[in-house]
């Protein structure tokens, strides 16, 4: 089954052709990172306009790279929420137009279901499939969710962030430390090889699988002020101090997320742990989850952790094999819930 997946929920215009939910024939991503970097974050109106400019060449690029014609497709899958309304609209309408013109089934996909199914991509060894139930940890720019996945398409939300998402926290920490945007990769790079002689706090929220990162953000600000890193002094902040602050921040986030993911696995007798979302590209987080979880840990390749069309095609495939399809009256759902 050949599925065209389209993703435009935030600042990546992406399209991909995936076979049977696993084999990536093409995966085209036009990132707007450089465009938004000067504002220190994503500007919704700028994002929608850029999606409009990019959507046709990106879809055409994905089809031609896969050497697939529209008539070879078996379905079109598109992210319809959650995300920025104007941004979602571009992808959803492009997908509807293709489905209508070619008489193809149209499948709306939840963005987080896409991040989840990234772990199934390029997963070629069915014998290594741990089976259900699984715990899914989505750590991204707008979410930090722990989800119990009982089967394909069957989700229960176990915990979520009560304030900032982990990716958002990385982005804010990077801004504070003068490391630029997007913050996650910059903080990871700055922290490499550094060991902080101090600890930043962890919000354990005992008895709950929820997360909170806003206290950590404030603690980082105070420590950065104390160490003379923020506001940045003339001539720039001391590199070693920045590295220590980045390392202490990352350590705190990684510690809490990996501990709670492992706890969720134990509490629910899960057979595996799946990671998804941009923050799961983080090296120390990947390592900590593998060390702490008492079960196999499935993590997509780093480039498949952030937004892409392949994950949407993969999620669409698992819906399509169960016969799911949406009408062409499907609207975007900026606050769509997974469960
Ligand atoms: N190596 C890394 N370490 C930590 N964070 C990272 C890393 N790479 C990317 N990130 C973070 O991942 C986030 C982007 O992830 P993603 O594209 O999945 O989020 P989003 O699509 O904006 O949000 P959502 O998926 O919740 O709608 C950014 O906040 C970025 O800083
Ligand atoms: Mg995302």
141 lines ligand 1 (CB under 6 A): yes
Closest ligand to 304 CA?
1
Among 199, 203, 131, CA closest to 166: 203
Per residue in 252-282, pLDDT tens? 999 999 999 999 999 999 999 999 999 999 9
pLDDT above 80 (res 125): no
Give me ligand 2 centre to Cα 197, in Å: 34
Closest ligand to 81 CA?
1
276 lines ligand 1 (CB under 6 A): no
User: Cα separation of 101 and 270, whole Å?
Assistant: 43
- Atom from ligand 1 closest to the CA of residue 167: 29
- Atom from ligand 1 closest to the CA of residue 170: 31
Q: Residue 253, exposed/middle/buried by CB under 10 A (0-12, 13-18, 19+)?
A: buried
Question: What is the radius of gyration, based on Cα positions, of the chain?
Answer: 20
Per residue in 39-57, pLDDT tens? 878 899 999 999 999 999 9
Average pLDDT over residues 29-38: 91
Tokens of 167: 């990716």
Residue having the nearest C-alpha atom to atom 19 of ligand 1: 141
pTM of the full structure: 0.95
- Atom from ligand 1 closest to the CA of residue 83: 27
Residues with Cβ < 8 Å from 216, sequence gap 6 or more? 169, 200, 201, 202, 203, 249, 252, 253
> What's domain 131-298's architecture?
2-Layer Sandwich (3.30)
140 lines ligand 1 (CB under 6 A): yes
Per residue in 205-249, pLDDT tens? 999 999 999 999 999 999 999 999 999 999 999 999 999 999 999
Torsion of CA 265, 122, 103, 63, to 10 degrees: 140
Query: For 2-119+303-320, CATH number?
Result: 3.30.420.40
pLDDT at 259: 98
Per residue in 135-178, pLDDT tens? 999 999 999 999 999 999 999 999 999 999 999 999 999 999 99
Is 311 in contact with 115 (CB distance < 8 Å)? yes
Q: For residue 288, what are the CA distances in angstroms to 245, 252, 257, 258, 293?
A: 19, 12, 9, 6, 8
pLDDT above 90 (res 133): yes
Closest ligand to 10 CA?
1
User: Cα separation of 169 and 163, whole Å?
Assistant: 10
Query: Fold identical between 2-119+303-320 and 131-298?
Result: yes
pLDDT above 80 (res 292): yes
DSSP string, 31-93: E-HHHHHTTTS--HHHHHHHHHHHHHHHHHHHHHHHT--GGG-SEEEEEEESS-HHHHHHHHH
Residues with Cβ < 8 Å from 262, sequence gap 6 or more? 273, 289, 292, 293, 294
Is 260 in contact with 275 (CB distance < 8 Å)? no
pLDDT at 37: 84
**Domain range annotation of the chain:** 2-119+303-320, 131-298
DSSP structure class, residue 199: -
**What mean pLDDT is reported for the chain?**
96
């Amino acid at each position: 089954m050949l599925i065209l997946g389209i993703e435009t929920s935030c600042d990546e215009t992406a399209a991909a052709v995936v076979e049977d939910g696993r084999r990536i024939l093409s995966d085209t991503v036009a990132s707007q990172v450089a465009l938004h970097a000067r504002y220190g974050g994503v500007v919704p109106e700028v994002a929608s306009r850029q999606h409009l400019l990019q959507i046709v060449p990106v879809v055409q690029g994905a089809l031609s790279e896969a050497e697939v014609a529209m008539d070879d497709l078996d379905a079109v899958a598109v992210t319809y929420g959650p995300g920025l309304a104007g941004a979602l609209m571009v992808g959803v309408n492009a997908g509807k137009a293709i489905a209508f013109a070619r008489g193809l089934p149209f499948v709306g996909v939840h963005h987080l279901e896409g991040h989840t199914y990234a772990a199934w991509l390029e997963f070629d060894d069915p014998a290594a499939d741990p089976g259900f139930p699984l715990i899914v940890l989505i750590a991204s720019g707008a979410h930090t969710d722990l989800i119990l996945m009982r089967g394909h398409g069957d989700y229960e939300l176990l915990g979520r962030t009560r304030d900032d998402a982990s990716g958002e926290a990385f982005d804010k920490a990077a801004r504070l430390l003068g490391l630029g945007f997007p913050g996650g990769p910059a903080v990871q790079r700055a922290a490499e090889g550094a060991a902080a002689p101090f600890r930043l706090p962890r919000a354990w929220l005992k008895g709950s699988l929820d997360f909170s990162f806003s206290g950590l953000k404030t603690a980082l600000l105070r420590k950065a002020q104390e160490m003379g890193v923020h506001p940045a002094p003339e001539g720039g902040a001391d590199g070693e101090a920045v590295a220590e602050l980045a390392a202490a921040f990352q350590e705190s986030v990684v510690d809490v997320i990996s501990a709670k993911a492992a706890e969720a696995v134990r509490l629910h007798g899960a057979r595996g742990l799946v990671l998804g979302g941009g923050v799961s590209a983080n090296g120390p987080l990947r390592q900590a989850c593998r060390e702490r979880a008492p079960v196999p840990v499935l993590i997509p390749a780093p480039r498949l952790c952030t937004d892409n069309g392949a994950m949407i095609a993969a999620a669409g495939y698992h819906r399509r094999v169960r016969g799911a399809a949406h009408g062409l009256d499907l609207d975007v759902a900026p606050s769509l819930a997974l469960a």
